[in-house]
């Protein structure tokens, strides 16, 4: 019955979107767009100045064309984007996330970009290939990328007797946690000053957790458990892209999850109740001195660097049972909507956004790692000028011998997968359900994919 309900919901939404795609132009777009304007949406306020600079140069090179950039917060962004497809008020171009690609592919709201001449070799490995649909068409032009590393409070690490070399040399396993768990335990301090690995430590009265929590991680665990699962040899699905079966029922995966969430039971990681997606994320816990370290993404570098009175450094993810370190390498893209109001102008703008010229401009702001190698180099240099070492994020891309990088799972019915895995992982982490309960969730997901 649950599967049929999901099918009815998807059919209704798809029908509404199909209707808007047919009739949107006749209705008028409601965005104030005109034949000489390209509308562009993004969610990151910190990146807007860089793209305004690109827009200024683009307009200089394309007389008569204007770019109107709209920025909004993450949650509002996706809600309004989805609503705009239905209402026929969608932007011409928007910043796309690989996590949403499967959903938008299902809904058929993206314009193929095969004629833009995007070549895999022009970008960091894997970024261009991720945006190829099952039909063989391209639906995203590489924009930027990020990896995950361990941010840590240097004073707390020093007080614990842990050096940068030690934190960059950690290893873990799901049996006893390895040197990683030992380090996190030693960084943990209760309200009587006892460390997590010392006699008498009170896990119910913790002052500083060794590791911040970022919640249950839904079905991807990007800044939670993903690096552990991947370094244990697990993959989300049966194929690298457009998989047909998820593997949340894997014994390897479930052993990782049991160990990872078990860190909170031991008092070394902040509990599920300390996390709030809006107001109390991992970085907030570190900023408040409630946690000594946190796994987080490269998009958060400037945020951690901006914490007043704190000296924050980064370390690479720990070595896993496979003998390698692992990190998700996420890549954003620019996509054109299928019913874009200025499709010709949109394609010119996206082609420029993907160019080395614009990518180097964006890199020069030191906010994000652009997709081209030269754009990445410009970003690294910009961070260096700010006194920020970003090697923990770039090493996984440069050193394929010791590091494994992987992408978000890319499948059909991505929204359905999230709808099932979000509460399931919350139940395991926050409500104490056994990891074996993921067997049933996995079966439900695979039934949906098998339709």
The pLDDT tens digits for 51-60 are 999 999 999 9
User: Which pLDDT band, with edges at 50, 70 and 90, does 80 fall under?
Assistant: very high
Angle at 329 between CA 327 and CA 332, to 5 degrees: 155
Distances (CA, A) of 3 to 10, 104, 244, 422: 11, 20, 16, 17
Q: Sort 11 into a burial class: Cβ within 10 Å, 0-12 / 13-18 / 19+.
A: exposed
Sign of the C-alpha dihedral, residues 282, 287, 290, 294? positive
Q: Which of 197, 200, 177 is nearest to 188 (CA)?
A: 197
Q: Which of 175, 181, 318 is nearest to 258 (CA)?
A: 175
Percent of all residues in the chain with a pLDDT value above 70, rounded to a whole number: 92
pLDDT in tens, 411-444: 999 989 999 999 999 999 999 999 999 999 999 9
User: Which pLDDT band, with edges at 50, 70 and 90, does 33 fall under?
Assistant: low
- What average pLDDT does the structure give for the chain? 92
Task: Tell me the average pLDDT across 8-25.
Answer: 39
Question: What pLDDT was estimated at residue 17?
Answer: 45
In 288-342, which residue ranges form alpha helices assigned H by DSSP? 301-305
- On whether the CB atoms of residues 212 and 290 are closer than 8 A, the answer is yes
Residue 115 DSSP one-character state: G
- On whether the CB atoms of residues 264 and 213 are closer than 8 A, the answer is yes
Question: What pLDDT was estimated at residue 279?
Answer: 83
Question: What pLDDT was estimated at residue 121?
Answer: 95
Angle at 253 between CA 248 and CA 254, to 5 degrees: 85
- For residues 14 and 118, the model is more confident at 118
Q: Pick the range with the lowest mean pLDDT from 4-13, 285-294, 358-367.
A: 4-13
Task: Tell me the average pLDDT across 167-188.
Answer: 98
User: Which pLDDT band, with edges at 50, 70 and 90, does 22 fall under?
Assistant: very low
User: Which pLDDT band, with edges at 50, 70 and 90, does 277 fall under?
Assistant: confident
Q: Does domain 148-328 have CATH number 3.30.450.40?
A: no
CA distance 152 to 150: 6
Task: Tell me the average pLDDT across 23-51.
Answer: 74
Q: Sort 415 into a burial class: Cβ within 10 Å, 0-12 / 13-18 / 19+.
A: buried
The pLDDT of residue 16 is above 60: no
Element (H, E) at 405: strand 403-406
Residue 211 DSSP one-character state: B
Helices (H) and strands (E) in the chain, counts: 17, 13
Question: What pLDDT was estimated at residue 442?
Answer: 98
The pLDDT of residue 261 is above 60: yes
Helix, strand or coil for residue 61? helix
Residue 440 CB partners (closer than 8 Å, separation 6+): none
45, two tokens: 């306020």
- For residues 8 and 260, the model is more confident at 260
Domains 2-145+333-387 and 148-328 share a fold: yes
Task: Tell me the average pLDDT across 146-164.
Answer: 98
User: Which pLDDT band, with edges at 50, 70 and 90, does 4 fall under?
Assistant: very low
pLDDT in tens, 223-240: 999 999 999 999 999 999
Every domain of the chain and the residues it spans: 2-145+333-387, 148-328
The pLDDT of residue 24 is above 70: no
Question: What pLDDT was estimated at residue 34?
Answer: 65
**CATH code at 2-145+333-387:** 3.40.190.10
CA distance 172 to 102: 32
Task: Tell me the average pLDDT across 142-159.
Answer: 98
The pLDDT of residue 394 is above 80: yes
Of how many residues is the chain composed?
451
Question: What pLDDT was estimated at residue 395?
Answer: 96
User: Which pLDDT band, with edges at 50, 70 and 90, does 283 fall under?
Assistant: very high
CB atoms near residue 210 (< 10 Å): 30
């Amino acid at each position: 019955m649950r599967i049929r309900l999901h099918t009815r919901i998807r059919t209704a939404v798809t029908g509404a979107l199909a209707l808007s795609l047919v009739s949107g132009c006749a209705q008028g777009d409601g965005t104030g767009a005109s034949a000489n304007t390209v509308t562009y949406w993004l969610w990151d306020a910190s990146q807007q100045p860089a793209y305004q600079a690109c827009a200024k140069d683009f307009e200089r090179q394309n007389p008569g064309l204007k770019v109107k950039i709209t920025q909004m917060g993450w949650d509002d962004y996706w809600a309004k984007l989805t609503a705009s497809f239905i209402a026929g008020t969608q932007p011409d171009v928007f910043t796309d996330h690989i996590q949403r690609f499967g959903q938008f592919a299902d809904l058929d709201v993206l314009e193929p970009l095969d004629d833009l001449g995007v070549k895999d070799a022009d970008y960091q490995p894997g970024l261009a290939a991720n945006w190829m649909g099952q039909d063989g068409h391209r639906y995203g032009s590489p924009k930027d990328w990020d990896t995950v590393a361990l941010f840590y409070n240097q004073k707390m690490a020093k007080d614990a007797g842990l050096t940068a070399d030690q934190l960059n040399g950690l290893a873990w396993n799901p049996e006893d946690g390895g040197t990683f768990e030992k380090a996190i335990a030693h960084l943990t301090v209760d309200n009587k000053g006892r460390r997590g690995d010392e006699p008498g430590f009170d896990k119910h009265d913790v002052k500083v957790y060794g590791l911040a929590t970022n919640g249950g991680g839904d079905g991807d665990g990007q800044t939670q458990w993903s690096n552990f699962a991947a370094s244990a040899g697990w993959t989300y699905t049966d194929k690298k892209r457009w998989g047909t079966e998820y593997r949340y029922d894997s014994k390897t995966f479930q052993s990782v999850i049991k160990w990872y969430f078990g860190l909170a039971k031991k008092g070394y990681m902040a509990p599920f109740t300390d996390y709030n997606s809006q107001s109390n994320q991992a970085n907030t816990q570190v900023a408040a001195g409630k946690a000594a370290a946190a796994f987080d993404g490269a998009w958060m570098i400037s945020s951690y660097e901006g914490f007043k009175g704190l000296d924050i450094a980064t370390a690479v993810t720990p070595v896993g049972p496979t003998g390698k370190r692992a990190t998700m390498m996420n890549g954003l893209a620019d996509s054109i909507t299928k019913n874009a109001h200025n499709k010709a102008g949109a394609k010119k703008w996206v082609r420029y956004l993907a160019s080395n010229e614009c990518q180097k401009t964006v890199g020069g702001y030191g906010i994000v790692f652009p997709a081209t190698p030269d754009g990445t180099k410009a970003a690294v240099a910009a961070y260096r000028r700010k006194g920020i070492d970003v090697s923990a994020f770039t090493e996984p891309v440069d050193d394929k011998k010791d590091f494994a990088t992987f992408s978000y799972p890319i499948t059909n019915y991505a929204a359905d997968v999230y709808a099932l895995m979000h509460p399931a992982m919350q139940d395991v982490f926050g409500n104490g359900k056994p990891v074996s309960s993921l067997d049933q969730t996995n079966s439900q997901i695979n039934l949906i994919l098998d339709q």
